[in-house]
Amino acid sequence: MGGITRGRVIELDIYGRREKARVVTQDGLWYKAMGTRRVRVVAVEPRSTGRKPQAFYSSDLTADAAEILRRYALRWSLEVAFHDSKQSLGFEEPQGWSRGAALRTGPMAMLLYSLVVIWFAKRRHKDRVATPKRPWFTLRPRTSFGDMLATLKRECVDEEISASQRRGRHVPNSIKTLVVHCAGAA
**Which one is predicted more confidently, 12 or 92?**
12
How much is the pLDDT for 149? 86
SS (H, E, C) 9-41: EEEEEECCEEEEEEEEEEEEECHHHHCCCEEEE
**Which one is predicted more confidently, 17 or 56?**
56
* CA-based nearest residue to 132, from 143, 141, 121: 143
Kindly tell me the burial class for residue 22, based on how many C-beta atoms sit within 10 Å of its own C-beta (0-12, 13-18, 19 or more): middle
Q: How many angstroms separate the CA atoms of 62 and 9, rounded? A: 20
Q: Are 80 and 88 in contact (CB under 8 A)?
A: no
**Which one is predicted more confidently, 159 or 58?**
58
From 41-55, 64-78, 170-184, the region with the lowest mean pLDDT: 170-184
pTM beyond 0.75 = no
- Provide the percentage of residues in the chain whose pLDDT is more than 90: 20
Residues 6+ positions from 157 with CB-CB distance below 8 Å: 179, 183
Kindly tell me the burial class for residue 109, based on how many C-beta atoms sit within 10 Å of its own C-beta (0-12, 13-18, 19 or more): buried
Q: How many angstroms separate the CA atoms of 178 and 86, rounded? A: 27
**Is the alpha carbon torsion for 52, 57, 61, 62 positive or negative?**
negative
How much is the pLDDT for 4? 45
Q: How many angstroms separate the CA atoms of 153 and 184, rounded? A: 9
Q: How many angstroms separate the CA atoms of 88 and 145, rounded? A: 8
Write down the mean pLDDT value for the chain.
Answer: 79
User: What pLDDT band is residue 106 in, cutting at 50, 70 and 90?
Assistant: confident
* Residue range 84-93: mean pLDDT, rounded: 80
Give yes or no for residue 26 having a pLDDT over 60. yes
Q: How many angstroms separate the CA atoms of 23 and 54, rounded? A: 10
How much is the pLDDT for 184? 52
Give yes or no for residue 38 having a pLDDT over 90. yes
How much is the pLDDT for 1? 43
Give yes or no for residue 2 having a pLDDT over 60. no
